[in-house]
A and B are shown apart, each in its own frame.
Chain A
Amino acid sequence: MAYSEKVIDHYQNPKNVGTLDKSKSNVGTGLVGAPECGDVMRLQIEVDEATGTIKDAKFKTFGCGSAIASSSLATEWLKGKTIEDAAKIDNMEIVEELHLPPVKIHCSVLAEDAIKAAVNDYRQKNGLPLMKFEESVVH
């Protein structure tokens, strides 16, 4: 299977690899996937409390090139967004941007799930009601 140029670029030059201090109240962490499934994504957001926008985002991913690229792209998109807008990122936008083939759609679903998990982690830490999400596509 050939990878798209965008996947290769994110894989070779991943954006925003790293770890944020999860003990801080303005940092939300989403850890999704499982080692047994071959994909684990950890996505973190740091929220500017004055504006409610995401000022930094970091990821670490165990998985194939498409999983790495999906999470790298997600961190790029998250920066500057409000947490409400962040939660609206749809996995199909990632699929389209990275030209993921059907067998790799689950990587984008995982990235979407990681974003939502990070947003809710932030909300929980700050006493905000958790956002309800519809069940993701079966993967």
Chain B
Amino acid sequence: MLKFPIYLDHNATTPCDPRVVEAMIPYFTNNFGNAASRNHPFGWQAEEAVDYAREQVAKLIGADPKEIIFTSGATEGDNLAIKGVFEMYASKGNHIISCNIEHKAVLDTCKHIEKEGGEVTYLKVKDNGLIDLADLEAAIKPSTILIAIMYANNEIGTVMPMKEISAIAKKKGILVFSDATQAVGKIPVDVNKDGIDLMAFTAHKMYGPKGVGALYVRRKNPRVKVTAQIDGGGHERGMRSGTLNVPGIVGFGKACEICMSEMSEETKRISKLRDKLENALLQIEEAYLNGDKEYRLPHVTNISFKYVEGEGLMMGFNKNIAVSSGSACTSASLEPSYVLKALGLGDDLAHSSLRFGLGRFTTEDQIDYTIEQVTNTVNKLREMSPLWEMYKEGIDMSTIEWAHH
């Protein structure tokens, strides 16, 4: 029996794994101590739990536990890494290279840097959502201090060539930061093999709790430092003050441990379901895959259904199926997804896109139901779409003078 609603928006957030919740519970009640209380058993217990979680988190990304700075999430990690490096390395230069499909947490932080007198180059991605390494090399200047490129994109799931990016950076002695929010826990990420110096990620995208994340900060070859953005008691080696969220950190650690042990099997299962969904939906006439088919995360697919509008499409089944759209009909700007537009999609195709994000608890029955519902709704809406009618009549829509509003 199918239980509704079905959740296929795992790039937005994931449910907590029950094993994660179980691990967290004692740290709300009995073991409630402050990890910074050094002089009694309550504090010792909390510190021990945090240390253990730090090891679990570090292990998942091939880091040393001392290189993990706990934060409130990836947005804070992005801010701390970019602003922290910009301030710490001001004497070396003020130029940062990023790209135009980064998450807003990175893009808006970069805009802040520009206001502070920094210079940012935003590399344009190719139509498959990947950056061109030649563009990256060409963008490097003597004043470049940081390359900030996401590990995997949140809307289309494309995975950037981190090893190649860091190899270029190393040659020039430039630090590499990656927002790996979507990648960690889903695909193998190793900060040493990938050559990453700073990396932000968060628990709630990998079946852990919301409100806790980490910034990886390399300690060796080179030793990286960031200027703290939150001042206070000097927690987390002085880089991030504030009492540690012990239950959250414990849950984060457990979530990392589970991802590590189950990743290879889970990836196989989920990517099979994703492929089934994708292949079936691409059978629909005038349906197009967005992003790269090869270099991408195993659990996401982003498809445009031409001549129907994404939000209208979701309304056909969103009581029963939760997905997300690149259409921004609800936003004040009415601008569709900047990520899809960066791939060179016209606004019309960007408005027509849906993102399906599968997860640990997605079943084949759910996928079968989704295929049926989405197909039916696309067909139904096309019957009432003037654009579909024009397409079927062979009218060239680029010749129509649209009343832009």
Q: Is the CB of B312 within 8 A of A65?
A: yes
A-B contact count (CB 8 A): 99
Tell me the minimal C-beta distance from B108 to chain A in angstroms: 22
Q: Mark B50-72, 1 if CB is under 8 A from A, else 0.
A: 00000000000000000000000
Beyond A103-B330, A106-B334, whether A61 also contacts B385 by CB under 8 A is yes
Residues of B within 8 A of A40 (CB): 385-387, 402
Residues of A within 8 A of B312 (CB): 11, 62-65, 67-68
Residues of A within 8 A of B329 (CB): 38-39, 63-64
Residues of B within 8 A of A139 (CB): 405
Q: Is the CB of B386 within 8 A of A64?
A: no
Q: Mark B365-396, 1 if CB is under 8 A from A, else 0.
A: 00000000000000000011111110000000
Q: Is the CB of A37 within 8 A of B389?
A: no
Measured in the bound complex, the distance between the Cα atoms of B386 and A39 in whole Å is: 10
Q: Mark B298-316, 1 if CB is under 8 A from A, else 0.
A: 0000000001110110011
Measured in the bound complex, the distance between the Cα atoms of B158 and A115 in whole Å is: 44
Of the listed residues A37, A40, A42, A62, the one surrounded by the most CB atoms of chain B closer than 10 A to its CB is A62
Main secondary structure of the interface of B (DSSP, over half): loop
Chain B residue at minimum C-beta to C-beta distance from A34: B402
Q: A37-B334, A64-B330 are in contact. List 17 more A-B contacts (CB 8 A).
A: A1-B330, A8-B315, A11-B316, A34-B402, A35-B347, A35-B402, A36-B346, A38-B336, A38-B348, A40-B385, A60-B385, A62-B308, A63-B329, A65-B315, A68-B312, A106-B334, A113-B403
Binding site for B on A (CB under 8 A): 1, 3, 8, 11, 14, 17, 19, 31-42, 59-65, 67-68, 103, 106, 109-110, 113, 139
Residues of B within 8 A of A67 (CB): 309, 312
Q: Is the CB of A34 within 8 A of B311?
A: no
B-side interface residues, number (CB < 8 Å): 32
Q: Which of B331, B383, B387, B405 is in CB contact (< 8 Å) with A17?
A: B383
Q: Is the CB of B389 within 8 A of A60?
A: yes
Tell me the minimal C-beta distance from B379 to chain A in angstroms: 13
Residues of B within 8 A of A34 (CB): 402-405
Q: Is the CB of A65 within 8 A of B347?
A: no
Chain A residue at minimum C-beta to C-beta distance from B312: A64
Q: Is the CB of B347 within 8 A of A36?
A: yes
Residues of B within 8 A of A17 (CB): 383-384
Chain A residue at minimum C-beta to C-beta distance from B398: A35
Chain B residue at minimum C-beta to C-beta distance from A66: B329
The 8 nearest A-B residue pairs measured at CB: A34-B402, A36-B347, A35-B348, A42-B386, A38-B351, A64-B311, A60-B386, A65-B315
Residues of B within 8 A of A110 (CB): 405
Main secondary structure of the interface of A (DSSP, over half): mixed
Q: Is the CB of A36 within 8 A of B404?
A: yes
Q: Is the CB of B386 within 8 A of A37?
A: no
Q: Is the CB of A35 within 8 A of B387?
A: yes
Tell me the minimal C-beta distance from B340 to chain A in angstroms: 12
Measured in the bound complex, the distance between the Cα atoms of B403 and A113 in whole Å is: 10
Q: Is B1 an interface residue (CB 8 A)?
A: no
Q: Which of B308, B309, B315, B386 is in CB contact (< 8 Å) with A31?
A: B386
Tell me the minimal C-beta distance from B146 to chain A in angstroms: 35
Tell me the minimal C-beta distance from B309 to chain A in angstroms: 5
Beyond A17-B384, A31-B386, A106-B334, whether A39 also contacts B403 by CB under 8 A is no
Measured in the bound complex, the distance between the Cα atoms of B330 and A68 in whole Å is: 15
Residues of A within 8 A of B336 (CB): 38
Chain B residue at minimum C-beta to C-beta distance from A19: B389
Q: Is the CB of A68 within 8 A of B384?
A: yes
Residues of A within 8 A of B389 (CB): 19, 60
Beyond A38-B327, A63-B329, A64-B329, whether A33 also contacts B402 by CB under 8 A is yes
Measured in the bound complex, the distance between the Cα atoms of B385 and A59 in whole Å is: 9
Would you mind naming 12 contact pairs between A and B with Cβ atoms under 8 Å apart? A17-B384, A19-B389, A31-B386, A35-B402, A36-B351, A37-B404, A38-B336, A40-B387, A62-B308, A62-B312, A62-B386, A103-B332
Beyond A36-B346, A106-B405, whether A64 also contacts B327 by CB under 8 A is yes
Residues of B within 8 A of A37 (CB): 334, 347, 404-405
Q: Is the CB of A63 within 8 A of B383?
A: no
Measured in the bound complex, the distance between the Cα atoms of B404 and A113 in whole Å is: 12
Q: Is the CB of B315 within 8 A of A64?
A: yes
Measured in the bound complex, the distance between the Cα atoms of B351 and A64 in whole Å is: 10
Tell me the minimal C-beta distance from A27 to chain B in angstroms: 15
Q: Which of A3, A38, A62 is in CB contact (< 8 Å) with B315?
A: A3
